[in-house]
Structure 1
Amino acid sequence: MDTSKNTIDSKKIIYSFCVIAAGILWGTMSIFVRSLSFLGFSSRQIMLMRSLLASGILAAVIALKNPALFKIHLRDIWIFIGSGILSMAFFSVCYFSTIIECGASVAVVLLYTSPVFVLILSAIFFKEKITFLKAAALVITFAGCVFVAGIFGSGTSVSPKGFFVGLLSGLGYGLYSIFGRVALKKYEPLTVTFYSLLFASVAMIPLSSPVELAGAMSVRSFLFFLGTAVFCTLLPFLLYTFGLSGLEAGRAAIFATVEPLVGTLIGIFLWKESAGFFKLLGIAMIFAAIILASLPERKSGN
């Protein structure tokens, strides 16, 4: 019995579970965002507070656990500029702009073009193979997202500007897997997550009317912001970053597409949104794609 192979397989399962758990937590975002939006906060202000509070909490954890994790080399700053500003902050701004321009359903589908970018960039920079299983899972995932978003048969029109900015949101979202993979070669997941959130916070400050934000803060809104920071930001990014340390970036990106599935289920059961045939079909397709992506590739010559 090959125990080393069993150990590797069990680790892969743990890494995969962490990425899927991250997607599930990201999918609960509407619970907090809808409440904060009702209280008068903009999407950019929510993004600023979630990253600011999450980085603050993580800084306290690192300080208590192992302050040495704060240490990074100046020559590696570009990695965290990439994961924090070019990914977290950039994709958020593009995503929110697409929601305004085209609506939420179109925005979420364009956002989840990210696995396409991840697979292509991973093949270029990490020499990851675009296998049949990955390609098939990718196609099924994207089709599932289209059905979940309710675009099919709705006659929705997309402006060229909205489509382009939406694709940029997918690129920005996918870049976290790329920069994160590079950072994890040198740093622990806690370090990578902390500096990514910190740089994202710095980038969002001039875009979020911080004075107005501070003036509108209350105990109730702060608790909602705290929930967003912990459950929709800190925990999922830590889980995703840890999972990314043991998975190919392309496969991790496919696993994370459980997010729109969870968001849709919350919309159906919590917000009483409609659940038609195509939406349920899309949910089933995303589940199937995740299972397909988790299957081991057949090795040639055996």
Structure 2
Amino acid sequence: MYKKLPYLMIAFAAAMWGLIGFFVKGLSDAGFSAMEIVTVRVVTAAGILVLVGLAAYRDHLKIRIKDLPLFIGTGILSIVFFNWCYFTAIELMNIPIAVALLYTSPAFVAVLSFIFLKESIDRKKLIAIALTIIGCTLAAGITGQEGASFSAAALLIGLGAGFGYALYSIFGKVALRKYHPFTVTLYTFIVAAAALIPTTGIAGKASILFNGSTWLYVIGLGIFPTVLAYFAYSWGLERTESSTAAVVATLEPVIATLLGVIVYGDRPGILQLIGSLLIVISVVAVNISLPARKLKSTSLSD
């Protein structure tokens, strides 16, 4: 069971990420733009993580200055960059296409892991990646007639979201060789917050944060799909291959679809259901190790 725990932690992280729409919808209704919500998310997470660190992880609060580029990688090149690409893609195209392009990340992770982390790409992993990409495309509700209406620049920005999303697994994997998962999560959000606060003008909306139930969405967004999710993912990533972790994490759109059905009454089509099933199959595939066939020895004498 312990051997499967890293995958369960990654699946838990994906489930938490899948709930993000609930909190984003609440903050959007309160008048926040997409990038302002991202800023609220990372700033709240950074604040919570600092408090948790002072209370329970005092031995994991320090990093070496020479390792700061690793957290620029996880915080700015990944968190900030992929969110910018993702929300820009939504504006240039639409949500289904943007989601599908975001979840090309397992393919990027597999290639980058092969080049930089020397991880192998076996047949099972290739099949799982292919099923993931096809499944995410179907789950997003894409039809074959929509792609022609989008510019090459829009599609490249959408792919940039998948690439940026993948970078967390690469930079995070290297950082986890030197630091505790909590340390990696903490400095990822400190660096991301430091980059976003001066560029988004979020300070001008500070008064709105505590109006009505808005603060509940802020705290919930900071805790569940952010602090808990990234800590769980980092913990699991430390103990498994980046490419495998990326495939397991694609449970997120399945959870997001279930949230839409249960909470908002969405009704997915047959292609979306098939896509979700393919994602689940791909996640199961990378987690099942078939026992090797026992070689027959001295069978003639038995």
Normalised by the length of structure 2, the TM-score is 0.93
Partner of 2:2: 11
Pair 41,250 (structure 1): closer, same or farther in 2 beyond 3 Å: same
How many angstroms does 1:94 deviate by?
0.6
Q: Which moved more, 1:265-274 or 1:275-284?
A: 265-274
Is 1:122 the equivalent of 2:113? yes
Partner of 2:154: 162
Alignment partner of 1:280 out of 252, 270, 273: 273
Partner of 2:73: 82
Partner of 1:5: none
Partner of 1:22: 13
Q: State how far apart, in whole Å, the 1-side matches of 2:32 and 2:44 are.
A: 16
Is 1:177 the equivalent of 2:169? yes
Q: Which moved more, 1:62-71 or 1:238-247?
A: 62-71
Q: State how far apart, in whole Å, the 2-side matches of 1:71 and 1:277 are.
A: 50
1:271-294 Cα deviation digits (max 9, x unpaired) = 122221101111111110100111
Is 1:152 the equivalent of 2:143? yes
Partner of 1:263: 256
1:107-143 Cα deviation digits (max 9, x unpaired) = 1111011111110010011111111011000000110
How many angstroms does 1:32 deviate by?
0.7
Partner of 1:214: 206
1:85-106 Cα deviation digits (max 9, x unpaired) = 1001110011000011111101
Q: Is the CA contact 1:32–1:228 (under 8 Å) kept in the aligned structure 2?
A: yes
Q: Is the CA contact 1:12–1:246 (under 8 Å) kept in the aligned structure 2?
A: no
Q: Is the CA contact 2:110–2:243 (under 8 Å) kept in the aligned structure 1?
A: yes
Is 1:73 the equivalent of 2:67? no
Pair 257,232 (structure 1): closer, same or farther in 2 beyond 3 Å: same
> What letter is aligned with 2:281?
A
Q: Pairwise CA RMSD of aligned residues?
A: 1.7
Gaps of 5+ in 2: 296-302
Alignment partner of 2:192 out of 175, 195, 200: 200
How many angstroms does 1:298 deviate by?
7.7
* Structure 2 residue matching 1:187: 3-state secondary structure: coil
> What letter is aligned with 1:19?
I
> What letter is aligned with 1:242?
W
Q: Is the CA contact 2:197–2:203 (under 8 Å) kept in the aligned structure 1?
A: no
Q: State how far apart, in whole Å, the 1-side matches of 2:289 and 2:38 are.
A: 37
Partner of 2:22: 31
Pair 125,212 (structure 1): closer, same or farther in 2 beyond 3 Å: same
Alignment partner of 2:101 out of 105, 110, 114: 110
How many angstroms does 1:42 deviate by?
0.8
How many angstroms does 1:67 deviate by?
1.6
Q: State how far apart, in whole Å, the 2-side matches of 1:295 and 1:223 are.
A: 39
Gaps of 5+ in 1: 1-9
Aligned residues, how many? 293
Q: State how far apart, in whole Å, the 2-side matches of 1:168 and 1:155 are.
A: 19
Q: State how far apart, in whole Å, the 1-side matches of 2:12 and 2:231 are.
A: 10
How many angstroms does 1:300 deviate by?
11
> What letter is aligned with 2:289?
P
Q: Is the CA contact 2:10–2:245 (under 8 Å) kept in the aligned structure 1?
A: yes
How many angstroms does 1:53 deviate by?
1.1
1:179-228 Cα deviation digits (max 9, x unpaired) = 11001111000000000011111111133222332143224212111100
Partner of 1:6: none
How many angstroms does 1:155 deviate by?
3.4
Q: State how far apart, in whole Å, the 2-side matches of 1:236 and 1:247 are.
A: 16
Pair 297,191 (structure 1): closer, same or farther in 2 beyond 3 Å: farther
* Structure 2 residue matching 1:41: 3-state secondary structure: coil
Normalised by the length of structure 1, the TM-score is 0.93
Alignment partner of 1:92 out of 62, 83, 105: 83
**Identity of matched residues, %:** 38
Q: State how far apart, in whole Å, the 2-side matches of 1:78 and 1:118 are.
A: 19
